[in-house]
Structure 1
Amino acid sequence: MAVGLGLIGTGFMGKAHALAYGAARAVFGDVPPVRMASLCDGEPGRASAFADQFGFAAATSNWRAIVEDPDVDLVSITTPNALHCEMALAALQAGKAVHCEKPLAITLADARTMAAAAEKAGLATLVGYNYVHNPAFTHAGRLIADGVIGRPVHFRGWVDEDYQADPDLAWTWRAKRTEAGLGALGDLGCHLVSMAVALMGPIASLIADTQIVHATRPLSDGSGRAAVENEDTASAIVRFASGAQGTLCTSRVAWGRKNRLDWEVHGTRGTLSFSQERMNELTLYVNDGPAARQGFRTILTGPGHPPYGAFCPAPGHQLGFGDLKTIEAASMLRAIAGGPPTRPNFTDALAFEAVIHAIDEASRCGQRVTLQTS
């Protein structure tokens, strides 16, 4: 039976969701077909145009019409952050599965409410931490679980972009806490946390510092300047529940960096490293054999790293950002059809977002913050 998709939002991420759900069955074959039921954009003309472009049967400018539509089984939420909570709660109450972009909400209290509502409803939920679906990343997790690098003792990660580096860039909703929530942490740092936790386990405590680099930005109408309320950069030293240590750094004002999401895991027998800008490669060093033959080796992802082979039968042909979204969408469709639960779901995402809010709290109070890890 086909799954009726209702999409709220038509920006870059809305398009990514539409493409992913449109491609999932063609790529994997083992997922139910998707019926593009209805699309919502706040501007009626855009809603109609994008419904036609993306192949949806209906268009609306009222998101509640998506939630209430009996032809919709799954609601995809790709709107600005401040709208996620109300939309997701309404969809769950209406009995719909929910695929929500990250972060769950702009406050930790709202994220907790969303996770509790999802658990109570017993419906499939999925949050758009798509980088953890990369075959290279999941292979890294298997290598760690198999003990290839020994016991993990240190995680070092950083995620940098330059989309807010220009001080003359106009002020937008992303600078306002009541609309965006956290800044670089909510946009970028949460992705790094999702990867750190997947590889190393839960984070138990941390100390941190943040800064606002550009205190004000010009208003687009030329009437003056407005304050930037959330952080441009953040750094944290974390302690995992396992006892391992780590560092997490993020910036949205790093000139020249476009999607520099990099990490290393140091173990007692070796090291793994990864760079998102070279997302089809994983680098491994193992302290084994004669010293003269040792060195880092690059593992190029291919059919031996599922589900790469569902897209292409040969290594070196490369997967991309949109393919990770297709893997993500397929996991949701399998869950709706009675397959394995989706990950990361609302409960998983709450744990990630508790970390970024703890970084913000630690920066404000100047003390170590302890997190709930179970």
Structure 2
Amino acid sequence: MVANIGVGLIGTGFMGKCHTLAWKAVGTVFPDMPAITLAHLAEVDADLARRRADEFGFARSTADWRTVVADPQVDVVSIAAPNEFHPEMVIAALEAGKHVWCEKPMAPAFADAERMARAARASGKVAVLGYNYIQSPAMRHISRLLADGAIGTIAQLRIEMDEDFMADPEAMFFWKHEARSGYGALDDFAVHPLSIVSVLFGRVARVVCDMAMPYPDRPVHGGGRRAVETHDIASALMQLESGIPATLQVSRSAWGRKGRIAIQIFGSKGTILFDQERFNEVQLYLTADPAGEQGFRTILSAPRHEPYGHFIPAPGHGLGFNDLKTIECHELIMRLSGADARIIDFDAGLEIERTVHAMARSHAERRWIDVAHPAA
């Protein structure tokens, strides 16, 4: 393993701060990690960049992200800028010989996502996407339950993701309402549950999808209103390559839902339930239990559920959102060292993008669409 990793950060909003916390914590939580140097940070203007560098602990700051990419002290570039800027930033970083940790989704346009994946393959560098929900100890335990056949043959999968940050029809228009940011909930949200589907069950074969725009316009600063260009709600039926039927529902306008990813996995011998708002718990129902005692049991995350024990030595105390990012950072570093890692690289991420764009095409054409995955 390398002795030191120099980190560059582009974007210091919610996810940029999450990346920073992860880079700072990973060496404390996990043993035998390399030294991490927070080398260079970029923001939209010099003053903001300087303030964020002081707050986050980066050695240098700039208003030009290309300066971060070109910095010889930077080995890995964390990209937490808005979606539309991902392609140019990612490709420039890879061509400069940097590894990349980019937030999801890859890009609003599928052609740009393809270019990013080609650039990653050509560079020989590690390029991973920020799908942190697959990292939780509870989700890893679900993976083991499925691998062990605990609930038998899978009959159906249902998965949902809901938040309410766009539920208020009078909330201000912002960049996620612009078409250049993508389709809306479909690629802003649905990629997260699709990452879970990918890890637990593999690829999606066919989809039929509908999208909805509950509020056609929103107020803008200074007065007036602007037409909304993205869809806050999407629903899809899916058939997985394994033959499992599945449903997907996502909404950014669901009052009361704050960070919900709800999973229901129905099998021939039981059921697994999970809700991201209670992501230190898994609900398990097994038909093998005595008839008079059958019912859902709650499994609390504990040190026996890796990597929970690296954070907390006692069961039931619970991890948090930023801890998942620290686990993701650890997996990235393991991949940098050549070890197996639980990550979604750009090739796997491109398959998720294929599914999203097939869903958008289904909505436009009002029919089932085959997801055109290339031959293995």
Using structure 1 for the length normalisation, give the TM-score: 0.97
Letter of the aligned partner of 1:340 in structure 2? Answer: D
Q: What's 2:219 paired with?
A: 218
Q: How does 1:124-139 map to 2 (within 5 A)?
A: 124-139=126-141
Letter of the aligned partner of 1:6 in structure 2? Answer: G
Contact persistence 1:154–1:266 (CA under 8 A): yes
Q: What's 1:364 paired with?
A: 364
Contact persistence 1:107–1:181 (CA under 8 A): yes
- Separation of aligned partners in 2, 1:106 and 1:218: 24
Give CA-to-partner distance per residue, 1:75-101, whole Å, 9 cap, x none: 000001101110000000001000000
Q: What's 2:20 paired with?
A: 18
- Separation of aligned partners in 1, 2:337 and 2:146: 31
Q: What's 1:168 paired with?
A: 170
Deviation of 1:290 after TM superposition, in Å, equals: 2.4
Deviation of 1:341 after TM superposition, in Å, equals: 4.9
Give CA-to-partner distance per residue, 1:150-171, whole Å, 9 cap, x none: 1112110111111111111111
Deviation of 1:102 after TM superposition, in Å, equals: 0.5
Contact persistence 1:31–1:334 (CA under 8 A): no
Q: Secondary structure of 1:292's match?
A: helix
Q: What's 1:155 paired with?
A: 157
Name whichever of 191-200 and 270-279 sits farther off: 191-200
Query: Which consecutive segments of 4 or more residues in structure 1 shift more than 6 A?
Result: none
Task: Tell me whether 1:280 sits opposite 2:280 in the alignment.
Answer: yes
Letter of the aligned partner of 1:165 in structure 2? Answer: A
Task: Tell me whether 1:296 sits opposite 2:296 in the alignment.
Answer: yes
Q: What's 1:141 paired with?
A: 143
What root-mean-square deviation, in Å, do the aligned CA atoms of Structure 1 and Structure 2 show? 1.1
Q: What's 2:203 paired with?
A: 202
Deviation of 1:142 after TM superposition, in Å, equals: 0.9
Deviation of 1:343 after TM superposition, in Å, equals: 1.4
Q: Secondary structure of 2:316's match?
A: coil
Q: What's 1:248 paired with?
A: 248
Deviation of 1:337 after TM superposition, in Å, equals: 2.7
Q: What's 2:55 paired with?
A: 53
Contact persistence 1:126–1:342 (CA under 8 A): no
Q: What's 1:328 paired with?
A: 328
- Separation of aligned partners in 2, 1:353 and 1:265: 23
- Separation of aligned partners in 1, 2:40 and 2:205: 42
Give CA-to-partner distance per residue, 1:45-101, whole Å, 9 cap, x none: 111111111111101110000000000000000001101110000000001000000
- Separation of aligned partners in 1, 2:239 and 2:65: 41
Identity %: 45
Q: What's 1:62 paired with?
A: 64
Deviation of 1:30 after TM superposition, in Å, equals: 2.5
Q: Secondary structure of 2:133's match?
A: helix
- Separation of aligned partners in 2, 1:232 and 1:218: 16
Q: What's 1:3 paired with?
A: 5
Contact persistence 1:163–1:252 (CA under 8 A): yes
Q: What's 1:115 paired with?
A: 117
- Separation of aligned partners in 2, 1:120 and 1:31: 27
Q: Secondary structure of 2:37's match?
A: strand
- Separation of aligned partners in 1, 2:35 and 2:77: 15
- Separation of aligned partners in 2, 1:201 and 1:152: 13
Deviation of 1:205 after TM superposition, in Å, equals: 0.2
Letter of the aligned partner of 2:288 in structure 1? Answer: D
Contact persistence 2:182–2:188 (CA under 8 A): no
- Separation of aligned partners in 1, 2:340 and 2:225: 50
Consecutive unaligned residues of structure 1, counting only runs of 5 or more, are none
Contact persistence 2:135–2:342 (CA under 8 A): no
Q: What's 1:264 paired with?
A: 264
Contact persistence 2:131–2:195 (CA under 8 A): yes
Deviation of 1:372 after TM superposition, in Å, equals: 3.0
- Separation of aligned partners in 2, 1:232 and 1:336: 36
Letter of the aligned partner of 1:349 in structure 2? Answer: G
Using structure 2 for the length normalisation, give the TM-score: 0.97
Q: What's 1:94 paired with?
A: 96
Q: Secondary structure of 1:21's match?
A: helix
Contact persistence 2:161–2:189 (CA under 8 A): yes
- Separation of aligned partners in 2, 1:342 and 1:277: 22
Q: Secondary structure of 2:218's match?
A: strand
Deviation of 1:338 after TM superposition, in Å, equals: 3.0
Q: Secondary structure of 1:193's match?
A: helix
Deviation of 1:199 after TM superposition, in Å, equals: 1.5
Q: Secondary structure of 2:282's match?
A: strand
- Separation of aligned partners in 2, 1:209 and 1:134: 30
Consecutive unaligned residues of structure 2, counting only runs of 5 or more, are none
Q: Secondary structure of 1:272's match?
A: strand
- Separation of aligned partners in 2, 1:111 and 1:120: 14
- Separation of aligned partners in 2, 1:30 and 1:144: 31
Deviation of 1:261 after TM superposition, in Å, equals: 1.1
Contact persistence 1:149–1:268 (CA under 8 A): yes
Deviation of 1:348 after TM superposition, in Å, equals: 1.2
Deviation of 1:339 after TM superposition, in Å, equals: 2.5
Letter of the aligned partner of 2:279 in structure 1? Answer: M
Contact persistence 1:153–1:268 (CA under 8 A): yes
Letter of the aligned partner of 1:272 in structure 2? Answer: I
Q: Secondary structure of 1:274's match?
A: strand
Deviation of 1:217 after TM superposition, in Å, equals: 1.2
Task: Tell me whether 1:187 sits opposite 2:210 in the alignment.
Answer: no
Deviation of 1:114 after TM superposition, in Å, equals: 0.7
Q: Secondary structure of 1:79's match?
A: coil
Q: Secondary structure of 1:59's match?
A: strand
Contact persistence 1:16–1:325 (CA under 8 A): yes
Deviation of 1:105 after TM superposition, in Å, equals: 0.6
Deviation of 1:342 after TM superposition, in Å, equals: 5.8
Letter of the aligned partner of 2:369 in structure 1? Answer: V
